[in-house]
């Protein structure tokens, strides 16, 4: 596996919605490379015939009865939001200019 590059770090930052300065991109490139170097031991293992484990305890299809029941009050859900309008979360324009 080739070492992680500066361009890849900048790309990953975009995916993760983080604005990294040039200095941070350099630092993260070096630090992530160190961690990924350590992970070379895992990368080198031949485990193709081993099934993956996503979760340590075998539970599947945990469902509750399909019955209406009380839930969090709308106002309580909105109380922690930075900007609220008319009982909804308000955000800046998603597409183009504000009307």
Does residue 2 interact with another protein by CB under 8 A? Answer: no
Q: Are 81 and 89 in contact (CB under 8 A)?
A: yes
Q: Which residues contact 87 (CB under 8 A, 6 or more apart)?
A: 74, 75, 78
Paired sense of beta strands 84-85 and 88-89, if any: antiparallel
Which of 54, 86 has the CB closer to another protein?
54
Residue span 5-44 as binding mask against another protein, x where in contact by CB under 8 A, dash where not: ---xx--xx-xxxxxx---x---x--xx-xxx-xxxxxx-
Choose which of 67, 83, 86, 99 interacts with another protein (CB under 8 A): 83
């Amino acid at each position: 596996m080739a070492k992680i590059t500066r361009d890849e770090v900048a790309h990953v930052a975009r995916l993760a919605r983080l604005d990294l300065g040039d200095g941070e991109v350099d630092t993260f490139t070096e630090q992530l490379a160190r961690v990924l170097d350590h992970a070379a031991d895992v990368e080198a293992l031949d485990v193709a015939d081993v099934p993956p484990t996503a979760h340590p305890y075998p539970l599947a299809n945990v469902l509750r009865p399909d019955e209406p029941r009380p839930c969090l009050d709308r106002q309580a859900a909105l109380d922690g939001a930075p900007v609220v309008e008319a009982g909804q979360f308000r955000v800046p324009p998603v597409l183009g200019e504000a009307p």
